Amino acid sequence: MWFLFIVGLLCGYFMIAWTPTVDPFVLEVFLTDIIFDPLKTFFALVSFFIGFISNAILIRSATWHTLQAWRKETTNRKEQFLSYSVLLTFFILSMIDVKKTIIFFLFSFAYGMMSMNVYKERES
């Protein structure tokens, strides 16, 4: 779980750092920045993908542990605490760039919830 926390945080940071910032947002300028720096764009996309998968696993685990605690079932407290560390990741990343962090969080949350059913079946 610590590994997922560190990977999610680092990949989120690199995704924010390597994605062009256009303020105010103009689609043409954003696309031009992406096209003329393809290596940076590629690394930003890879970081985004790896990071949102790592955070989705932590979100899924945190949700699962919360459901277990709600039903008064026994849980692994260490794993439960580490899965809640995903909130710290998003808090730290939001201090860098809120808009990109919100997009990163939405993808992570959506994927984590979609994979919840598979995780629940595997745990049972």
Predicted TM-score (pTM) of this structure: 0.83
Number of domains in the chain: 1
pLDDT at 70: 87
Q: How far is CA 94 from the centre of its chain?
A: 12
Q: Would the CA dihedral through 87, 93, 98, 103 be positive or negative? A: negative
Residue 101 structural domain: 1-121
pLDDT at 91: 95
pLDDT, one tens digit for every residue, the chain (124 residues): 889 999 999 999 999 999 988 788 788 888 898 899 899 999 999 999 999 999 999 999 898 888 888 888 887 888 888 889 999 999 999 999 999 999 999 999 999 888 877 666 666 5
